[in-house]
């Protein structure tokens, strides 16, 4: 541990083997254990614990009471397992957030990208993959092996089931129960969550063209409003909508979904075992 421009409160406990980069600050009563690496200008608030084989990238801010890198809540986990938590740059991790590393069965890593906002009391379980520019509102919870693509948003008090995949620029309403994959660019809400519409506001903020937004809207209607099987809906999209990167991504996501897609209200969900 180097001491260059590092500000450690006198009550903090820092293991001698921890790697702290320039500009790191650690608040009162926080604990940084020996296999932890903190990048430039990382700020750790008071009463935090950063443990395990955890790397936090530069300019991240961790607020009061967060526990980062503690053992996965998995019955098969052993403290001898060689597992990791990798957190990118410019993330904001608010009060009392908990984030676990991976498990051997899940590939050994939990990975969080950059520029994410994880609000108070949220939980990221083992083997999750979070992209960039995502938001988890207060008390949002990810089960193990969940994937969030870039710019996904999860409302407060929502829970995402294990192995669920949330597509790019999707948004989940508050207090939702998400048990199936969420199509990119869509809005889902409910208990269980259902696909309500496309995320028009998110698409506009991402500077997606009006022409592309109309294509996404038409693809959403074909998938969820016509009562077609997933295979027939994807065939109709291929035949009727001029392709673009957003449509290609949407189609690939739907084809490769393993848990089935959150369907529209009152429309039966396609069988996830269909040959698509």
- Residue 263 pLDDT greater than 50, yes or no: yes
Would you state the pLDDT for residue 267? Answer: 52
**Section 192-207 average pLDDT:** 97
- Residue 177 falls within a domain, yes or no? no
Q: Which two tokens stand for residue 183?
A: 């199509």
Domain count for the chain? 1
State the pLDDT confidence band at 265, using cuts at 50, 70 and 90.
confident
- Residue 63 pLDDT greater than 50, yes or no: yes
Would you state the pLDDT for residue 3? Answer: 57
- Residue 256 falls within a domain, yes or no? no
Confirm if 127 and 110 have CB atoms less than 8 A apart. Answer: yes
Domain of 34 in residue numbering reads as: 7-148
Rounded Cα gap, residues 97 and 87, in angstroms? 14
161-177 per-position pLDDT tens digit: 999 999 999 999 999 99
Rounded Cα gap, residues 223 and 228, in angstroms? 7
State the pLDDT confidence band at 264, using cuts at 50, 70 and 90.
confident
Percent of the chain scoring above 90 in pLDDT: 93
CATH at 119: 2.160.10.10
State the pLDDT confidence band at 214, using cuts at 50, 70 and 90.
very high
231-251 per-position pLDDT tens digit: 999 999 999 999 999 999 999
State the pLDDT confidence band at 222, using cuts at 50, 70 and 90.
very high
Would you state the pLDDT for residue 266? Answer: 64
Closest CA to 94 of 53, 136, 39: 136
- Residue 199 falls within a domain, yes or no? no
- Residue 102 pLDDT greater than 60, yes or no: yes
- Residue 139 pLDDT greater than 80, yes or no: yes
**Section 202-216 average pLDDT:** 98
- Residue 22 falls within a domain, yes or no? yes
Would you state the pLDDT for residue 94? Answer: 98
- Residue 89 falls within a domain, yes or no? yes
- Residue 271 pLDDT greater than 90, yes or no: no
- Residue 54 falls within a domain, yes or no? yes
Q: Which two tokens stand for residue 95?
A: 């009060």
Length of the chain: 276
Would you give the DSSP letter of residue 271? P
- Residue 1 pLDDT greater than 80, yes or no: no
The catalytic site residues sit at 126-127, 144
- Residue 272 pLDDT greater than 50, yes or no: no
Would you state the pLDDT for residue 141? Answer: 98
- Residue 268 pLDDT greater than 70, yes or no: no
Indicate the pTM of the whole model.
0.94
- Residue 52 falls within a domain, yes or no? yes
- Residue 135 falls within a domain, yes or no? yes
Confirm if 52 and 33 have CB atoms less than 8 A apart. Answer: yes
Q: Which residues pair with 49 in a beta bridge?
A: 31, 67
Write the CA distances from 248 to 27, 68, 85, 147, 207, integer angstroms. 47, 36, 31, 19, 18
């Amino acid at each position: 541990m180097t001491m260059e421009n590092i500000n450690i409160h006198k009550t903090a406990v820092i293991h001698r083997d921890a790697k702290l980069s320039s500009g790191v600050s650690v608040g009162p009563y926080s604990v940084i254990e020996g296999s932890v690496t903190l990048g430039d200008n990382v700020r750790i608030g008071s009463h935090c614990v950063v443990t395990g084989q955890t790397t936090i990238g530069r300019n991240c801010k961790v607020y009061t009471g967060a526990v980062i890198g503690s053992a996965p809540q998995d019955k098969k986990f052993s403290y001898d397992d060689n597992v990791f938590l990798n957190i990118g740059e410019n993330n904001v991790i608010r009060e009392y957030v908990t984030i676990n590393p991976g498990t051997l069965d899940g590939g050994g890593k939990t990975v969080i990208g950059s520029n994410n906002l994880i609000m108070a009391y949220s939980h990221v379980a083992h083997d999750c993959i979070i992209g960039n520019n995502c938001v988890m509102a207060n008390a949002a919870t990810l089960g193990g092996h969940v994937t969030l693509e870039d710019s996904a948003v999860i409302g407060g008090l929502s829970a995402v089931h294990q192995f669920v995949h949330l597509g790019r620029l999707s948004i989940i309403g508050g207090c939702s129960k998400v048990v199936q994959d969420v199509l990119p660019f869509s809005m889902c809400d409910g208990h269980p969550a259902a696909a309500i519409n496309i995320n028009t506001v998110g698409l506009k903020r991402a500077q997606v063209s009006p022409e592309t937004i109309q294509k996404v809207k038409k693809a959403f209607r074909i998938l969820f409003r016509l009562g077609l099987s997933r295979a027939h809906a994807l065939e109709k999209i291929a035949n009727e909508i001029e392709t673009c990167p957003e449509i290609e991504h949407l189609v690939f996501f739907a084809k490769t979904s393993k848990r089935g897609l959150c369907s529209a209200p009152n429309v039966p969900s396609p069988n996830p075992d269909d040959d698509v």
